[in-house]
Structure 1
Amino acid sequence: MAGSAARKGQNGQPMLLDTELEHLPPELRWREWMGRIEAVIFAASEPVPWETLARIVGKSCNIELIIDDIRAELAGRPYELVAVAGGWQHRTKKAFGDVIRIAAGQGDVSRPLSQSEALVLMCIAYFQPINRGELSTFFGKEVSRDLIGVLRAQDLIASGPRSPQPGAPYSYVTTKAFLSHFGFDTLRDLPDFEALEDAGLLSKEKLLAGDIPVGLTHREDGDEVNVADGEML
């Protein structure tokens, strides 16, 4: 059947999904596409990319407009549809963060990143790929393996390409989990470093002093938690 996508049934045989829905009037077709897209995003444990959504709707479907319509319908709900980590994901609104934590028996707030962890993570985000030696040179003191281990354990950074330096040390890069944690769709959503410098809002001196640009806050259970805390490297 034209306009259908193949999928597997319980017996492993190919099944067909009618994606074009040409038998439906335009309004009902649009509502069906909206339902499919919202259902797939709702069921996913990670942000769902455009390519995945495109497999369940017709070629003429404008996914971005579908997302806008879903967002409009969720305007009064305690959760929303956000673009993050290269896809879309349902997230509870930050106003309900405390309620969710208390209901889950988590107390007040989880421990945010320390100031030193946040500063190193920020440096990796802006200057990746960057190795530990380069980080240590930047901060004027050694960045410990333990600190790097904390960021790796939280899946905020991963090993990047080896540096073209003696010993070929591994460099570090941020991960999709980093984008998800901080509510970024792509790294282009980071505050423009040069613009911050030109505006006098950020410099190496301010960075070392602990001034973190607005927007680098950690999201937990729908709430935003400032990453600064105060701890030596």
Structure 2
Amino acid sequence: MNMEDLVPTLEAMLMASEEAVSVERLLKLLAVSCPDITKDDIKRGLKELAESYIARGVELVELASGYRFRARAKYSQQVGALWEERKPRYSKALLETLAIVAYRQPVTRGEVEHIRGVAVSSNIVRTLLEREWIKVMGHRDVPGRPAVFGTTKEFLDYFGLRKLDELPSLPEVADLEAAHESFVGGANSDEPVVENKDKGNALNGVPEFDNEVTAVVAAESLRLGVDDD
């Protein structure tokens, strides 16, 4: 398959997919009809495809799990108007917990509680696990062998990141209170977590939090005195 045919083929495949698709998976799928295609061919095709969308309302992005199309962040307000339902609000306690796991992983529930200064409810841990934003990475070799938590590829994908290094360093986060208010919408630590498990197609808009969540996670970490190294 020449590049003239490969680029629109990749475009069609990624447009049809509801999830990010890795180079390896694209290669496996295309090799059925094009045995001679290589990983380098796929990468060159993706680069050319991404460049063709530079001036468009959607962009091709590389996430932890692969490539996908999504609406550009500058159009998030307009795209979001397509849906009448409000975005789910997440409690301050859940954001604090997620912030600590993101910046201090691997970390136990007890360590999270020590940093927050209050207990972490089982509902918060269960919600983060069900959303696949965190996972059990192992167990601490101490009495009771507590589970050790870390973030996942799904966490990176959902929040538009390729790797954890792309989380903002804490000194870079500006206007923390405004960021927190825009994200939480005034939620307090006792507010129940609202579930919304529909990840959706990226063409339906920017992921609900996109860059906003990284700012808020960093803000919560900074407020709690969590190191980001």
Q: Normalised by the shorter chain, which TM-score bucket?
A: 0.5 to 0.7
In structure 2, what is the equivalent of residue 222 of structure 1? 206
**1:108-151 deviation line (CA, Å, top 9, x unaligned):** x4134333322321221222221100111222322222222332
Amino acid aligned to 1:89: R
Counterpart-to-counterpart distance in 2, 1:116 and 1:156: 15
Distance in 2 (CA, whole Å) between partners of 1:60 and 1:168 is 42
Counterpart mapping for 1:89-104 below 5 A: 89-104=68-83
SS at structure 1 position matched to 2:81: helix
Amino acid at match of 1:32: D
Relative to structure 1, is the Cα distance of residues 85 and 112 closer, same or farther in structure 2, using a 3 angstrom cutoff? farther
Task: Give the match for residue 86 of structure 1.
Answer: 65
* Structure 2 counterpart SS, 1:160: strand
Residues of 2 paired with 1:147 and 1:59: CA distance?
Answer: 44
Q: Report if the CA contact (8 A) 2:27-2:39 is conserved.
A: no
Residue type of the partner of 1:85? A
Q: Distance in 2 between matches of 1:96 and 1:156?
A: 25
Aligned to 1:103, what secondary structure does the other structure show? coil
What secondary structure does 2:135 align onto? Answer: strand
What SS does structure 2 have at the residue aligned with 1:75? coil
Is the 8 Å Cα contact of residues 159 and 207 (structure 2) preserved in structure 1?
A: no
Of the three residues 58, 63, 66, the one matched with 2:45 is: 66
Normalised by the size of structure 1, how large is the TM-score?
A: 0.66
Q: Does 1:48 align with 2:48?
A: no
TM-score by length of 2: 0.67
More strand by share: 1
Aligned residue-pair number: 187
On the 8 A contact 1:163/1:171 being kept in 2, the answer is yes
More helix by share: 2
Identity %: 25
Structure 1, unaligned runs of 5 or more: 1-20, 22-28
For 1:113 and 1:78, how far apart are their aligned partners in 2?
A: 29
Cα separation, 1, equivalents of 2:165 and 2:6: 29
Distance 1:164 1:83 in 2: 36
Partner amino acid, structure 1, of 2:12: A
The aligned amino acid for 2:130 is: A
Higher relative contact order, structure no. (Cα contacts within 8 Å, ≥ 6 residues apart) = 2
Q: Is the 8 A contact 1:128 1:172 kept in 2?
A: yes
- 3-state SS of 1:161 partner: strand
The verdict on how the C-alpha distance between 1:211 and 1:97 changes in structure 2, with shifts beyond 3 A counting, is: closer
Tell me if 1:31 matches 2:15. no
List alignment gaps of at least 5 residues for structure 2: 185-201, 225-229
The residue aligned with 2:167 is: 190
Q: Which residues in structure 2 correspond to 1:195-210 (within 5 Å)?
A: 196=170, 201=171
* Secondary structure in 1 matching 2:6: helix
Alignment of structure 1 residues 138-153 onto 2, 5 Å: 138-153=115-130
Q: Is the 8 A contact 2:108 2:146 kept in 1?
A: yes
Q: Following TM superposition, by how much is the alpha carbon of 1:155 offset from its aligned partner in structure 2, in angstroms? A: 2.4
Equivalent in 50, 56, 59 of residue 77 of structure 1: 56
